[in-house]
């Protein structure tokens, strides 16, 4: 990190490191910005603002926000942080703990696990051995990738503590920078299930709140974890589970080794090869539903996003699929039934923030020629409630977007064939420009894009006049 040349100007990150390292308590962002500017004056038009941005850039790298106006250096956020490791029989048999699974993300990003120090409750170092059995992951598309996963063997300590697989190992971070971890054994009869559940819930809710309020749809574990520890009022209280156990138990979220995502948010590009390699399905399993749920009628109002005055209301049954919904929408909006892909997304309101924000969950693509990943999804499986929104895009080239809102869920009517159109906007007819020249008002059916472009106004034509018209690029009008 340090430059060999004394003349080199240190970066903002380096200066912040210098200021943050000796801190023993949180610091106001304004004060930190001032200190930063004293060490390296800024030529920016608004130096204070520029310094605040530099500080924010170090979130998760050097610091986290205690609240909007105060930051905590990471070493302090983690100081005294506690969590627990659950054991398997294999752990106990081998007196071993997996390095990545047990300790990664609880130590500095560049920390070499070989340099870890374990101490017991009296501060005495715990002897251990480190082994690195190769760990192979097979990718379908590439050759095998081999990881060296460090494993800690703590034979003497496991024996002295008489560790049994239902015990928990409590970890306390004694020194984050130096990688000093205090290990304690919690026996089965010492475990308070209710207290632990509350603690885990606190962590889960903290992660989820950060996920809901973040700009994008994932949060870095290197921000989420220390922020939660920095903000918890009683850090030395009951140690929660390892973050991965907490997230795995929460149906709202999933995690890889780097970040936390919405459980229904689809898969990231990083996840896909792993899932393919392990044979996990990329398509959510079809949920089963009762006969009654399958019969229910969903009334959806669909409007063109570009022209909301054009809308239709359609009804279809719970057992019918996104392919059926695609079919009725193509029909009622006069889109081509035999061409172009289309796709559906569920729009879900996010909490936090001043404006109402939505995230979009990909429900899959409909391909008129073959099976698309959304084709078989039953409407009832979407678990829609009145007021819920979907996005429908017809033709990914022209991107004709529609907003769908669920109006009602009701019982089917006897003798009615679903899906069906039940309402549409009152048409606002426009008239043929050629007929108008002769003083006639004929409803226009077509728009000529070639002439409209040339004349910089809409050239609308009736069926009759189109036949007389040159061989131009025309499209049918939608009313």
Beta strands in 132-211, from DSSP E residues, in sequence order: 134-137, 145-148, 151-153, 168-175, 180-186
The whole-angstrom separation of Cα 265 and Cα 218 is: 9
For residue 280, give every residue at least 6 positions away whose Cβ sits within 8 Å of its Cβ, in sequence order, or none.
none
> Binders of Zn ion: how many residues, by CB under 5 A?
10
DSSP 8-state secondary structure symbol assigned to residue 395: -
Helix, strand, coil shares of the chain, percent, nearest 5, are 30, 30, 45
Q: Which of 42, 256, 375, 450 binds Zn ion (CB under 5 A)?
A: 450
The whole-angstrom separation of Cα 283 and Cα 377 is: 10
Candidates 4-12, 67-75, 260-268, 454-462; binding stretch for Zn ion (CB under 5 A): 454-462
Q: How far is the CB of 427 from Zn ion (least distance, A)?
A: 17
Phi and psi dihedrals of 179, rounded to 5? 70, 45
Position 465 contacts Zn ion (CB under 5 A): yes
Closest to Zn ion by CB, 79 or 442: 442
For residues 227 and 220, is the Cβ–Cβ distance under 8 A?
no
Closest to Zn ion by CB, 183 or 465: 465
Rounded CA Rg of the chain: 31
Strand partners of residue 342: 366, 394
What token pair was written down for 141?
């598309």
Q: Which of 472, 477, 478, 479 binds Zn ion (CB under 5 A)?
A: 472
Closest to Zn ion by CB, 329 or 432: 432
x/- binding map, residues 407-446, to Zn ion, per CB under 5 A?
-------------------------x-xx------x----
Position 452 contacts Zn ion (CB under 5 A): no
x/- binding map, residues 156-185, to Zn ion, per CB under 5 A?
------------------------------
Q: How far is the CB of 439 from Zn ion (least distance, A)?
A: 12
Closest to Zn ion by CB, 270 or 440: 440
Q: How far is the CB of 469 from Zn ion (least distance, A)?
A: 5
Q: How far is the CB of 60 from Zn ion (least distance, A)?
A: 58
Position 448 contacts Zn ion (CB under 5 A): yes
For residues 9 and 29, is the Cβ–Cβ distance under 8 A?
no
Q: How far is the CB of 456 from Zn ion (least distance, A)?
A: 13
The whole-angstrom separation of Cα 41 and Cα 179 is: 34
For residue 391, give every residue at least 6 positions away whose Cβ sits within 8 Å of its Cβ, in sequence order, or none.
344, 345, 346, 347, 360, 401, 402, 403, 404
Closest to Zn ion by CB, 18 or 463: 463
Closest to Zn ion by CB, 64 or 448: 448
- CA within 13 Å, CB half, 291: 0
CA nearest to 300, candidates 472, 421, 475: 421
For residue 42, what are the CA distances in angstroms to 19, 33, 34, 58, 254?
17, 11, 11, 17, 41
Give residues 106-135 in contact with Zn ion (rule: CB under 5 A). Answer: none
Closest to Zn ion by CB, 255 or 442: 442
Q: How far is the CB of 209 from Zn ion (least distance, A)?
A: 57
Q: How far is the CB of 479 from Zn ion (least distance, A)?
A: 16
Candidates 141-149, 216-224, 379-387, 449-457; binding stretch for Zn ion (CB under 5 A): 449-457
Position 218 contacts Zn ion (CB under 5 A): no
Closest to Zn ion by CB, 27 or 435: 435
Q: Which of 254, 366, 404, 462 binds Zn ion (CB under 5 A)?
A: 462
Q: How far is the CB of 304 from Zn ion (least distance, A)?
A: 24
Q: How far is the CB of 462 from Zn ion (least distance, A)?
A: 3
Strand arrangement, sheet containing 460-461: 460-461, 446-448, 474-476
Tallying the residues shown for the chain, one arrives at 479
Position 451 contacts Zn ion (CB under 5 A): yes
Binding footprint of Zn ion on the chain (CB under 5 A): 432, 434-435, 442, 448, 450-451, 462, 465, 472
């Amino acid at each position: 990190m340090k430059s060999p040349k004394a003349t080199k100007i240190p970066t903002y990150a380096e200066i912040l490191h210098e200021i943050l390292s000796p801190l023993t308590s949180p610091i106001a962002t304004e004060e930190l910005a001032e200190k930063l500017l004293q060490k390296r004056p800024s030529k920016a038009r608004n130096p204070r603002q520029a310094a605040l941005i530099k500080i924010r850039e170090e979130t998760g790298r050097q610091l986290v926000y205690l609240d909007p106006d105060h930051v905590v250096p990471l070493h302090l956020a983690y100081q005294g942080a506690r969590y627990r490791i659950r054991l398997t029989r294999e752990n106990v048999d081998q007196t071993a703990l997996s390095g990545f699974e047990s300790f990664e993300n609880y130590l500095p990003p560049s920390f070499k696990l070989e340099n870890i120090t374990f101490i017991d409750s009296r501060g005495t170092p715990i002897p251990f051995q480190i082994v690195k059995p190769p760990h192979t992951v097979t990718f379908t598309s590439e050759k095998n990738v081999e990881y060296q996963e460090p494993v800690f063997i703590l034979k003497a300590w496991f024996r002295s503590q008489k560790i049994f697989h239902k015990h928990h190992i409590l970890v306390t971070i004694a020194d984050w920078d130096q990688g000093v971890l205090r290990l304690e054994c919690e026996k089965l009869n010492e475990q308070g299930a209710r207290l632990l559940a509350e603690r885990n819930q606190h962590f889960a809710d903290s992660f989820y709140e950060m996920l809901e309020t973040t700009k994008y749809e994932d949060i870095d574990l290197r921000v989420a974890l220390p922020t939660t520890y920095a903000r918890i009022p009683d850090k030395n209280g009951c140690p929660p589970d390892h973050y991965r156990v907490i997230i795995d138990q929460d149906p709202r979220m999933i995690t890889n080794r780097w970040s936390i995502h919405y459980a229904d948010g689809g898969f990231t590009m990083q996840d896909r090869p792993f899932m393919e390699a392990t044979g996990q399905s990329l398509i959510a399993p079809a949920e089963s539903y009762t006969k009654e749920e399958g019969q229910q009628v969903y009334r959806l109002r669909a409007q063109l996003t570009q022209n909301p005055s054009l809308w239709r209301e359609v009804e279809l049954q719970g057992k019918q699929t996104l392919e059926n919904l695609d079919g009725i929408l193509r029909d009622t909006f006069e889109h081509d039934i035999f061409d172009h892909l289309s796709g559906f997304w569920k729009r879900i309101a996010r909490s936090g923030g001043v404006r109402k924000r939505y995230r979009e969950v990909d429900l899959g693509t409909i391909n008129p020629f073959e099976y698309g990943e959304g084709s078989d999804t039953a409407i009832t499986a979407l678990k829609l409630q009145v007021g819920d929104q979907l996005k429908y895009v017809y033709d990914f080239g022209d991107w004709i977007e529609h907003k769908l809102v669920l109006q009602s869920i009701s019982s089917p009517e006897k003798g009615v064939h679903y899906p069906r159109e039940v309402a549409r906007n009152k048409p606002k007819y426009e008239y043929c420009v050629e007929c108008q020249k002769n003083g006639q008002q004929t409803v226009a059916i077509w728009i000529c894009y070639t002439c409209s472009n040339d004349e910089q106004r809409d050239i609308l034509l009736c069926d009759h006049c189109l036949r007389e018209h040159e061989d131009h690029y025309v499209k049918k009008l939608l009313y």
